[in-house]
Structure 1
Amino acid sequence: MMMEQQLIGSKWEEMAQKALDGECLTLADGLSILEGEQEQLLPLLQAVFRVRQHFFGRKVKLNMLINAKSGLCPEDCGYCSQSIVSTASIPRYTLLDKTTLLAGAREAMARKAGTYCIVAAGRGPTDKELSQVVEAVREIRATMPLKICACLGLLKEEQAKRLADAGVHRYNHNLNTSPKYYPSITTTHTYEQRVHTVQTAKAHGLSPCSGVIIGMGETNEEIVEMAFALRELEADSIPINFLHAIHGTPLEDAGCIPPLQALKVLALFRLICPSREIRVAGGREHSLRSLQPLALYAANSLFVGDYLTTEGQDITADHQMIEDLGFEIERNAL
């Protein structure tokens, strides 16, 4: 038994070394992570932490988002409470005014977040909405040491340029799932359009942020393919969301990803995208539950506060979790 455990640990260490050497894992490697026995989890996290520590030390990046425009979305994304096919009981409002967006930025500072994410439901921003965001971003950047991430939907070339000129640091547009499975989740736009938006943002100097939602019915092989796709896309930041099924959405009956499986997913993305920011995002409290601290042995970033239409963990609990781990919150330079 001892020899078997040593062999398992050696296997994960070999994968970690491949990641540190710049080699990409194989599909078989990825599947072995996701399908490994429970007894293999701690040796896996130990190996993965070598990679996380090499690139990020013991620092943790905090991000806070504001739901800048809620509901009123014409897209049919099956996971989303704000989509046109959702009957979920959620707030619905047009884009928040500058005063409210600035108040959100101050709250991000109070929560020790380094990045403030302005998120608006919809297919893509109108010119008026973009101007509102640009105006708010200019004032935030002039008065607060925050990085700004915008998530406004499909993006045109000139819109990307305006955001970059205003001082937006990062643009988020998640791939969400694999190309093959995508039509099962959304039909009003394509996977290729999402890839194009990420590429457009990158071409105009915006740091590309793109991630996934785990637990929508995809296979393990498709999860590995998602990680490969984000590696190829060279996403700087990769939010890993775990589906928190919401009543009134097409995926309301989807089960919850168990904590141990969620940790394997985070380990997989760290080893396939070793130098990238891996962020524990929506659904972490729901899926990881009491094992949330272990997530930071693979991930180096997390959201604090509430999500778009679901509640997050209390901020004092997040700060305490990071302190108890002996980790340090990363702050932006003044």
Structure 2
Amino acid sequence: MSNWSSLAEKVLTGGDCSNEEAMSILNCPDEELLLLLDGAYQIRRHYYGNKVKLNMIINTKSGLCPEDCGYCSQSVRSSAPIEKYRMMEKDQIVEAAEKAYSLGAGTYCIVASGRGPSKKEIETVVSAVEEIKGKYPMRICACLGLLKSEQADQLKAAGVDRYNHNINTSKSYHEVITTTHTYDDRTETVGRVKDSGMSPCSGVIIGMGETKEDVVMMAKSLRELDADSIPVNFLHAIPGTILENAEPLTPAYCLKVLSLFRFINPSKEIRISGGREVNLRSLQPLGLYAANSIFLGNYLTTEGQATTADHKMIEEMGFVVETAQEQAPVNR
């Protein structure tokens, strides 16, 4: 039996997980799962207490994407029957922010499909963010694809606190998932975000056929990138996408993955993201012992559980929603 509490103490005193220790987390016997989660919770409690951050997404532009990402229903390679539309108007984005704030979301995530934003799309987002910031004490996260330095500076100046651009998988597995951009394209965008002064958000999608070694490398790569927020998505295999027949994950394995990311990135916001309902299933509440953040409501083209169920889950587990006012500024 591994001593997960001792490993947690090692991490809390500044030690790093070795590759061997990281693999032992993913290979943890199911009968030790609660002990592993207890170790992860020691770290989570040290940095975040019993608080849970809530995030909400708005999909401001759907489909019409020229990229060939195998997991994505919005890809040019996908035949999934999703709604497709051009960039929303500013007023629609602002109106959705009001709803997010009313539901307790401390971070509002403005997302658009595509390789990267056009000049007009940047201008729309900038205008919407300036109005939202004048009305609601919320963090704003943008996720608009590959970003140029001047675009990052524009978003920062408008008041965007955080920019999301996921690495999605390991560098060695990246070409299996997409060929229309490189892994380095993604990490360079994260670098531009950091240079602008916005907080970098970058995460992964688990369940795309990668090895456990790949998962360890993802967690360690995000530590090297110094991502402040790490969304951990679990593949929701959508009919019509390249990965529609991917093998499903077990809830126990998903909990081990969340624990791994907490042990390797102890002080960072670990967010249970897309696919949590279909992969963690009835074990969703246990994920909060490792993660300190979740998305409320629906995702980009898939539905989440009701926001009332999320609030109830948090309350019944003895956790407390962190209000927007309590959240510290994230600009670097």
TM (normalized to structure 2)? 0.97
Cα distance, 1:13 vs. partner? 1.2
Q: Give structure 1 regions of 4+ aligned residues with deviation exceeding 6 angstroms.
A: none
Cα distance, 1:107 vs. partner? 1.1
Q: Is the 8 A contact 2:65 2:113 kept in 1?
A: yes
Out of 152, 155, 167, which is 1:160 matched to?
152
1:247 match: 239
Q: Is the 8 A contact 1:71 1:81 kept in 2?
A: yes
Q: Is the 8 A contact 1:256 1:286 kept in 2?
A: no
2:130 match: 138
**SS where residue 129 of structure 2 aligns?**
helix
**Identity over the aligned pairs, expressed in percent?**
59
After TM superposition, list the pairs within 5 Å mapping 1:1-334 onto structure 2: 7-8=1-2, 11-333=3-325
For 1:207 and 1:33, locate their aligned partners in 2 and report how far apart those are by CA, in whole Å.
28
2:329 match: none
Q: Is the 8 A contact 1:76 1:85 kept in 2?
A: yes
For 1:30 and 1:199, locate their aligned partners in 2 and report how far apart those are by CA, in whole Å.
26
Q: Summarize deviations over 1:184-240 as a string: whole Å, max 9, x none.
A: 000000000000000100110110000000000000001000000000100000000
Which structure 2 segments of 5+ residues have no match?
327-332
For 2:162 and 2:258, locate their aligned partners in 1 and report how far apart those are by CA, in whole Å.
22
Q: Is the 8 A contact 2:25 2:256 kept in 1?
A: yes
Cα distance, 1:279 vs. partner? 0.1
Q: Summarize deviations over 1:230-259 as a string: whole Å, max 9, x none.
A: 001000000000000000000000122110
Q: Is the 8 A contact 2:193 2:199 kept in 1?
A: yes
For 1:282 and 1:255, locate their aligned partners in 2 and report how far apart those are by CA, in whole Å.
16
Q: Is the 8 A contact 2:61 2:84 kept in 1?
A: yes
For 2:19 and 2:170, locate their aligned partners in 1 and report how far apart those are by CA, in whole Å.
14
- Residue type of the partner of 1:166? A
Q: Is the 8 A contact 2:104 2:324 kept in 1?
A: no
- Residue type of the partner of 1:112? G
Cα distance, 1:125 vs. partner? 0.3
For 1:327 and 1:198, locate their aligned partners in 2 and report how far apart those are by CA, in whole Å.
31
For 2:6 and 2:319, locate their aligned partners in 1 and report how far apart those are by CA, in whole Å.
25
Cα distance, 1:19 vs. partner? 1.4
For 1:22 and 1:172, locate their aligned partners in 2 and report how far apart those are by CA, in whole Å.
27
For 1:122 and 1:113, locate their aligned partners in 2 and report how far apart those are by CA, in whole Å.
25
Cα distance, 1:103 vs. partner? 1.2
Cα distance, 1:22 vs. partner? 1.8
For 1:23 and 1:155, locate their aligned partners in 2 and report how far apart those are by CA, in whole Å.
34
For 1:136 and 1:255, locate their aligned partners in 2 and report how far apart those are by CA, in whole Å.
40
1:4 match: none
CA RMSD across the alignment: 0.8
**SS where residue 286 of structure 2 aligns?**
helix
